[in-house]
């Protein structure tokens, strides 16, 4: 029995989650996986009903689960709240409480969406990149403050914090093309010099993996001019946040990008996009990022590579047949809504 805490969240969250559940329930039937799904409030809607974006009941639900499947949180409605009460603070607390130190974002090019990307198709043929971003350290979690005439955010890392993320990168690279790109700013930052030192040391334990070190500004440039060189990318929190969003353009839409936040026991799976309140309740949102996040749950929590690939191949089949939600639709596309897209993918498994 795999216990999954389902947190739909805000905006389009409930709709895309409903779509993902249609698919994952079909997977359960087809591949013989026993799930228990329990729902909880989280984010802005939780603040509205409970006065906090991460209620005690939801914390208990998460603690009793094997994995968390999250929709999206946030929206203009809650932007003026104190920082500790905003929906995004709940997400940071969830990541920190579960020690989810590794954010994994696959970015894949789908030829059927060639009209949605800025690159020439010849630049993107075969592009399949996995970003591994350190998720619990760096400037987002370092000491911060504001003075009368300034402000500061501290970047801080320990050797162990870097090593556990980078080790996952090496292990993943061994299963793929045996190429690892490590992104830093070692010409300026002490934390980056430590980062590069740790990567170089760990490389001796994985001699079959070729390591390339890139400064973050050059990495951003290389993602544009030659994305085909990349396979597995490891980097710190803020750099990973920026570069993985840049890489999202390769997929044609944020609505295509899943993510997994991995730790020691309970992992979190969520789409890379936001809550898109302007689309909420209109059956227009793209559920594919959430559906592919569910595929990552099958891969990393259930250890069912067959089921994960079943979902991923079903997505490719539906896209190749010309079906598309509005964000990825082009000339000749068969435009469908959130529910129909999910049902088509479920039927293709």
Tell me the average pLDDT across 315-329: 94
pLDDT at 113 over 90: no
Cβ-based neighbours of 169, under 8 Å, separated by 6 or more: 132, 180, 182, 232, 233, 234
Catalytic residue among 153, 217, 278, 306: 217
> Tell me, what's the pLDDT at 118?
83
Assign 2 a pLDDT band (cuts: 50, 70, 90): very high
Annotated active-site residue 66? The verdict is no
Annotated active-site residue 48? The verdict is no
Assign 76 a pLDDT band (cuts: 50, 70, 90): very high
CATH architecture of 1-102+257-349: 3-Layer(aba) Sandwich (3.40)
For 255-306, the DSSP string reads: GG-EEEEE-SS-EEEEESS---GGGTTTT-S--HHHHHHHHHHHHHTS--HH
pLDDT at 316 over 90: yes
Cα four-point dihedral sign 228, 219, 290, 120: negative
CATH number of 118-251: 3.40.718.10
pLDDT at 344 over 90: yes
Annotated active-site residue 185? The verdict is yes
CA 288/CA 261 separation, integer angstroms? 18
Catalytic residue among 10, 184, 231, 241: 241
Catalytic residue among 66, 99, 128, 245: 245
240 three-class SS? helix
Tell me the average pLDDT across 184-196: 98
> Tell me, what's the pLDDT at 332?
87
Tell me the average pLDDT across 122-139: 94
pLDDT at 75 over 90: yes
> Tell me, what's the pLDDT at 331?
86
CA 292/CA 42 separation, integer angstroms? 21
pLDDT at 92 over 90: no
Q: Which residues pair with 152 in a beta bridge?
A: 145
Catalytic residue among 39, 123, 140, 215: 140
Q: How many residues make up the chain in this entry?
A: 349
Annotated active-site residue 149? The verdict is no
> Tell me, what's the pLDDT at 87?
94
**Side-chain half-sphere of 165: how many Cα atoms within 13 Å?**
33
Structure-token pair, residue 66: 């094997």
pLDDT at 121 over 90: no
Between strands 334-335 and 323-324, the pairing is parallel
pLDDT tens for 136-172 read 899 988 999 999 999 999 999 999 999 999 999 999 9
Burial, 183: exposed, middle or buried (Cβ in 10 Å; 0-12, 13-18, 19+)? buried
> Tell me, what's the pLDDT at 249?
86
Mean pLDDT for all residues in the chain: 95
Tell me the average pLDDT across 174-185: 97
**What's the whole-model pTM score?**
0.90
pLDDT tens for 234-267 read 999 999 999 998 988 898 888 999 999 999 899 9
Q: Where in the chain is the domain with CATH 3.40.718.10?
A: 1-102+257-349, 118-251
Task: Encode 126-192 in three state secondary structure.
Answer: CCEEEEEEECCCHHHCCCEEEECCEEEECCCCCHHHHHHHHHHHHHHHHHCCCEEEEEECCCCCHHH
pLDDT at 289 over 90: yes
pLDDT tens for 93-110 read 998 899 999 999 999 999
pLDDT at 330 over 90: no
Annotated active-site residue 140? The verdict is yes
> Tell me, what's the pLDDT at 253?
85
């Amino acid at each position: 029995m795999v216990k999954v805490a389902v947190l739909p969240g805000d905006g389009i969250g409930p709709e895309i989650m409903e779509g993902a559940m249609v698919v994952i329930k079909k997977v359960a039937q087809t591949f013989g996986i026993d799930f228990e799904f329990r729902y909880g409030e989280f984010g802005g809607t939780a603040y509205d009903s409970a006065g906090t974006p991460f209620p005690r009941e939801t914390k208990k639900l998460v603690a009793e689960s094997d994995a968390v499947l999250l929709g999206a949180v946030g929206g203009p409605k809650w932007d003026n709240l104190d920082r500790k009460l905003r929906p995004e603070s709940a997400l940071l607390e969830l990541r920190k409480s579960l020690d989810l130190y590794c954010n994994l974002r696959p970015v894949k090019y789908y030829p059927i969406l060639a009209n949605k990307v800025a690159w020439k198709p010849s630049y993107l043929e075969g592009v399949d990149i996995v970003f591994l971003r350190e998720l619990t350290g760096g400037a987002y979690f370092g000491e911060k403050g504001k003075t009368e005439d300034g402000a500061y955010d501290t970047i801080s890392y320990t050797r162990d914090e870097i090593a556990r993320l980078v080790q996952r990168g090496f292990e993943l690279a061994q299963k793929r093309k045996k190429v690892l790109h490590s992104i830093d700013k070692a010409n300026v930052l002490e934390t980056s010099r430590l980062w590069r030192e740790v990567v170089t040391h760990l490389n001796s334990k994985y001699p079959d993996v070729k390591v390339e070190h890139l400064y973050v500004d050059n990495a951003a440039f290389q993602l544009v001019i030659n994305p085909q060189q990349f396979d597995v990318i490891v980097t710190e929190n803020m750099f990973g946040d920026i570069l993985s969003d840049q890489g999202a353009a390769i997929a044609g839409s944020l609505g295509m990008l899943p993510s997994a936040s991995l730790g020691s026991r309970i992992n979190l799976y969520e789409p890379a996009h936001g809550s898109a309140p302007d689309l909420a309740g209109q059956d227009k949102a793209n559920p594919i990022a959430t559906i592919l996040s569910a595929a990552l749950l099958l891969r990393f929590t259930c250890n069912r590579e067959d089921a994960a690939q079943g979902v991923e191949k079903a997505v490719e089949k539906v896209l190749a047949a010309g079906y598309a939600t509005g964000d990825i639709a082009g000339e000749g596309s068969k435009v469908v809504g959130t529910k129909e897209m999910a049902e088509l993918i479920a039927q293709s498994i």
